[in-house]
Structure formats: structure tokens, C-alpha cells
Structure 1
Amino acid sequence: MARTARAAQPPQVFAAYRYCEAVTAHQARNFAYGIRLLPPDRRQAMSALYAFSRRVDDIGDGTLDPAVKKDRLEETRRLLGLVKDGKLPEDATDPVAVALADAARRFPIPLNGLDELIDGVLMDVTGRTYETWEELREYCRCVAGAIGRLSLGVFGTAPSTPGAEHAPHYADTLGLALQLTNILRDVREDAAEGRTYLPREDLEAFGCATAPLDQAPPPGADFAGLVRFEVRRARGLFAEGLRLLPLLDRRSAACVSAMAGIYHRLLTRIARDPHAVLRGRVSLPAREKAYVAVRGLAGLDTRRAARADHTGPGKAR
């Protein structure tokens, strides 16, 4: 069935998906482990979403002048507008746009979420900092919560499933959990590039606001306490976001479980040794990621993690 479906695709569309799948395989460190568990049509759609998102992120993370970055991001937004309006030319040669347009025809993907992603990356380009968790949450919702909602458009839920109306909220919240984990993992790397994502109110509370986070914490600072505080917040988000799993079919739930499981294990490593994030990027070996992906088929890691991490309303602030 999968081969027949792919063979029926126009050559331009087939080649576009192959390009997006190659981008995903080579650049997605954790994402690729999850989407391998999806059926081919959903895997193609997710690779198109990833490739577009990667393009946006690469513009934001590149070495271009900020003014040029803004222009490039707005060009990308205009291309997205053509896809959203169904006006992408039939002879379009941009493989990411071609694949995304086809995916949007086959699945109810809320493409406005990609506009939100562009908005979030523009925050990076302008060098925005965050005073409070609520301000950081806004950023996380743009760059990660939106991806959760976009992915849900590919996964889908049965309208008759009890609680299905809450699925977008859970997908959004899980995206926040993943992004906050990324922020903790990349504290040193981001600080070296002049970016600080952790809320200033938290940095001040733990005495860490007077020195860049790529340097040794100032005397008297409780850096470990800061990290563990943010870990608790992320775990609260995971506990709520993973309520999405029972609303998905088995393959989609396995995909989400695998991706969330990898990040959850990463969070656990950071909690055990908070200062590790100052020494370099904390990561999982490839074989452990593969192991988590296999366990994702049964939802073992994430369901157990959700039970262990549930801290009740308000604990994650």
C-alpha cells in the first residue's frame, strides 16, 4: 500500500518529499527517531513540516546581519502565504514548499502555526530577553507549541474520542516541555551567542543574574538550584502534555512517546548533574535514543514518566 501510494505521486512531489526526508534524517537529532514510527504518508508530511521549520531556524541562527535575516524571514512568510492560499505555482521548484503544499492538501494542518514559528524566530533576531516565565512561555509557544499543534494536524484524533477537544492544548504544552528542555541543554551555547532565555526573575532568585551563563556562576549563586527549578517546571509541562497520548492512534502515540521519551531522559540527566550544561551540550547516545524509540511503541517510558512527574496544579508555575 505504501509503495503504491508513493508511486501514484507526481514525480515533482515525490522528489520534494525525498528532499525533505533527507533534510530530516541528516539534521533532526531527536525528531527523526519518532517519525520513523509513523506510516509513510504521515512520515512524509512530518518531514515537510520539519524541513520548513529547519529553514526558518537556520535563517535565525545564521551569521547574516539582523536586517537581512528579517528580510529572509519575511520572504519565507510570503512563500508560506502562497502555500496557505493554495496559490503555489504548479511548476514551483522549491522542494520544501512543494512538499508542504501537498501535505496541507492531504492533512488538516493548521499552517498558521508556521507563521507563529516565524514570529518566534524574529524574537531571536531582535535579541529579545524574558523577564518572567509568562514572557518566555509566549516565545516557547511560538517556536515549539505551534509545532505540537501542527504535528497534531498530521496525527489527527477521532472527534468521538473523549477529551479530543483538549488535544491541541496538550500538544501545545508538550511542545513547551520540549523547548524548555532545549533551553536548559543549550544554556552555555546560547549564552556564548549573546542569548539568554531563562527568565530574569528566576536568574535573580538564584543569584545567577550578574554573570553570563557561559561563565562560572558568580560567588554565592545557586546554579544547581536554578536548573532543578526549571527541571521541575518542565516536568510539570510533560505531565500535562503527555495526556495527549491516549487521544492518538497507536503509531502516532508511539511517535510522540519516542520524541518525548528522549527529551525526558535528557531532562533527567540534566537534573542529576545541573552543572553539566555549563561544560557542554548534554545528549543521549544514539543507541539509547533508538531504545527509547522502540519503547515508544508501547508508550512505556513516557507514561511512566508522566506518572512520576505529575506534581499537581500550579507546581510548575
Structure 2
Amino acid sequence: MTIRTELDAAGIHDPALRAAYQRCRELNARHGRTFYLATRLLAPAQRPAIHALYGFARWADDIVDEPRADDPVATPATRLDALTETLREALTGAPAADPIFAALADTATRYEIDHVLFDEFLDSMRMDLTVTDYPDRAALDRYVHGSADVIGLQVLPVLGTVGERADAAPYAAALGKAFQLTNFLRDIAEDLDRGRVYLPADELAAFDVDRARLQWCHAHRRTDTKVRAALAAQHAIARHWYRYAHNGIERLHPISRPCVSTAAVLYSEILDRIEHSDFAVFTARATVGNARRTRVAGSALARALWARRGHLTPVPTRT
């Protein structure tokens, strides 16, 4: 299905705004393969908003992690400050020079997404500029709330619910958390290269593991016995959040359930790959192959099409 069909279904007709949403869709397709595949299971009218939310999150994350070679003077901190100010202006109705802001502001207005969720997300992105370690679970949870929980809360109005949105909110936040904790395990070597450890220091210490031991494992491309035990404990915590989040899928609008369940299955299978490799996270990055992603999404497609026949698509609060 073409982007034109999706934008028509969503009632987005302004040419500049359509181009803005198309830019976000391209970002999603290029960088978020599993997430993008899952969005294809949503109704066409829902997809542009999800792409806009992803596009903004991706852009902010890249500011923190990817220095710009074409502008060596601007630091990540100054770029993030500029992004924050531009976002606030866009959300209050000012013309957005960048298409990503235009699409995001339109989505936030259409679905009445709480602007605080964007502030909390940027707060966590700002933490990445100065914080390199987390002493305990409470400290890590403060970061994860802004970097992941709020993403689930941002998309919830687009997905729709069968009851009060507040009843589904804890489960939406939990799925965002589960995805993030999965990333922390999968990307531990990459994060070490950036000088960061996203695992609670006190929980690692219970297994006699610290940053130095993680660095040793990374340098030698092996997972020693103590680190394996520590990672297994973190793996179990991530599993817990997937189980909790699964209980909330039935609270979503029926049209949105195949998408969310597919994303949860595919992302949780990254944990399977990590476990099956005996936690060899310093040797290779755990991934779910294209064939497996296609099979899971294919089996969900029939459910998605059936749901669309029997239910109206969730509509924005405002249009």
C-alpha cells in the first residue's frame, strides 16, 4: 500500500504535511525494520501518526549518539537544546521548518498526546550526554521512563483502547520498557564503546561484575561465568516485563492488537537469541532474521485483516 493511500485514509491532505509524513515513514522503514514491519499490520489511517512518532524519536536519539561531520562546531548538547526549543514552538502552533516537527506536531494535535511525554523523552536523551552508569534499578528506571515507557504512552492514543485509556497505559509503558531492556542486553558491547553501561551497578555487583569486567569481556570477545550469570538475571527481568505487557494487549482496540502482539513476539525473540547463544553478546549482535520476521508478520496479517472487517478504525480525538 502506498504512502498516498495511507495519508488519504488518515485525512491528511495538505501537500507540505503529506511530504513531512512521508519523510518520517522513510526514516522508519530505513532504521526500524522490526517496528516498521509491525506497523504494516495497523490500519492505513493509523500508520502516518506512528511513523511521525518514530521519526522524531529516531532523530533525537541520533543527535545524542551520532555526531554530525558536516557541523563539527555544534555539540550534541546545543543541538538537543535547539531541538527542544523548536519542538516546543511546533507543539504550540508555530510553523515547523523541518518536516519531522511538522508531522509530529500534527500527530500530537490530532490525537491529543500529552506534551509532557515529549519533554520526558528529551530529559532522558539529555541524560545520555552526561550519565554513563546507573547505581541501581531506581536510577535506571528514571532513564527508562523517558527513553521507553513514554514511547508506549505516546502511541497508545493512536492504537486506541476498548476501555479507559488510563487502564491500558501501564501495559503500554511496560512494553516500551521491555523493548528497551532488550536493547540494553543486545547492545551492551556497542554501549561500552560509547562509554555507557545501562545495567544497574548494584545488581551486577551481586555477581562480582563491574564495568572493568564488562570491558574485559568486550576486549576479549567472550562472556565469562560471572558476567553470564549477571546477564541471565537481567534477561529474566526483561522477560517479566514482556509477560506483564502481554496482559494489556486485549485492552487495545482490536485493529491494533495484531501489530502490537507481532512487535512483542519479534522483539522478545531477540532475548531468545541471546539466551540460545549462551549470552555471547560480546561476539555478535543478536537479531531475528528476515525469514522469521516475515513468517510472524504473515501469520498476523490474517488477524489484522479480519479485525479491520469487523471494527471501525480508531479515530483521532481531533481532525
Output the TM-score relative to the length of structure 1.
0.85
Query: How far apart are the structure 1 equivalents of 2:149 and 2:223?
Result: 36
Q: Return the offset for 1:36.
A: 1.0
Name the amino acid aligned to 1:152. Answer: L
2:87 equivalent in structure 1: 80
Is 1:119 paired with 2:116?
A: no
2:273 equivalent in structure 1: 269
Query: How far apart are the structure 2 equivalents of 1:179 and 1:172?
Result: 11
Q: Return the offset for 1:6.
A: 6.0
Query: How far apart are the structure 2 equivalents of 1:7 and 1:180?
Result: 36
Is 1:215 paired with 2:219?
A: yes
2:102 equivalent in structure 1: 98
Q: Return the offset for 1:14.
A: 1.0
Query: How far apart are the structure 1 equivalents of 2:10 and 2:158?
Result: 17
1:193 equivalent in structure 2: 194
Equivalent residues of 2:209, 2:226 under 8 A apart: yes
Q: Return the offset for 1:7.
A: 7.5
1:202 equivalent in structure 2: 203
Q: Return the offset for 1:3.
A: 6.8
Q: Return the offset for 1:134.
A: 1.7
Query: How far apart are the structure 2 equivalents of 1:287 and 1:219?
Result: 28
Equivalent residues of 1:17, 1:44 under 8 A apart: yes
- Counting only pairs closer than 5 Å after superposition, residues 217-296 of structure 1 correspond to structure 2 as 221-296=225-300
Query: How far apart are the structure 1 equivalents of 2:23 and 2:74?
Result: 29
Q: Which runs of 5+ in 1 are unaligned?
A: 300-317
Query: How far apart are the structure 2 equivalents of 1:231 and 1:220?
Result: 16
Distance 1:266 1:4, change over 3 A: closer
Q: Return the offset for 1:30.
A: 1.8
Is 1:25 paired with 2:37?
A: no
Name the amino acid aligned to 1:204. Answer: A
Percent identity (aligned): 33
1:71 equivalent in structure 2: 78
Equivalent residues of 1:109, 1:154 under 8 A apart: no
Equivalent residues of 1:140, 1:176 under 8 A apart: yes
Name the amino acid aligned to 1:169. Answer: P
Q: Return the offset for 1:119.
A: 0.9
1:61 equivalent in structure 2: 65
Equivalent residues of 2:152, 2:175 under 8 A apart: yes
Equivalent residues of 2:140, 2:200 under 8 A apart: yes
Query: How far apart are the structure 2 equivalents of 1:249 and 1:218?
Result: 44
Name the amino acid aligned to 1:32. Answer: Y
1:179 equivalent in structure 2: 180
2:311 equivalent in structure 1: none
Residues 141-198 of structure 1, C-alpha deviations (whole Å, 9 max, x = no match): 11111100001021121336xxx53211111111111100000000111112211111
Name the amino acid aligned to 1:188. Answer: A
Name the amino acid aligned to 1:186. Answer: D
Name the amino acid aligned to 1:118. Answer: L
Distance 1:272 1:75, change over 3 A: same
1:306 equivalent in structure 2: none
Q: Return the offset for 1:17.
A: 1.0
Name the amino acid aligned to 1:81. Answer: R
Output the TM-score relative to the length of structure 2.
0.84
Query: How far apart are the structure 2 equivalents of 1:192 and 1:93?
Result: 34
1:146 equivalent in structure 2: 150
Q: Return the offset for 1:20.
A: 0.9
Query: How far apart are the structure 2 equivalents of 1:298 and 1:140?
Result: 34
1:158 equivalent in structure 2: 162
2:314 equivalent in structure 1: none
SS of equivalent to 2:282: helix
Equivalent residues of 1:208, 1:221 under 8 A apart: no
Query: How far apart are the structure 2 equivalents of 1:2 and 1:31?
Result: 17
Residues 48-102 of structure 1, C-alpha deviations (whole Å, 9 max, x = no match): 00111111000000236898211111111112212322x222xx43111111122
Q: Which runs of 5+ in 2 are unaligned?
A: 304-319
Equivalent residues of 2:41, 2:258 under 8 A apart: yes
SS of equivalent to 1:277: coil
1:45 equivalent in structure 2: 49
1:305 equivalent in structure 2: none
Query: How far apart are the structure 2 equivalents of 1:8 and 1:169?
Result: 30
Equivalent residues of 2:10, 2:46 under 8 A apart: no
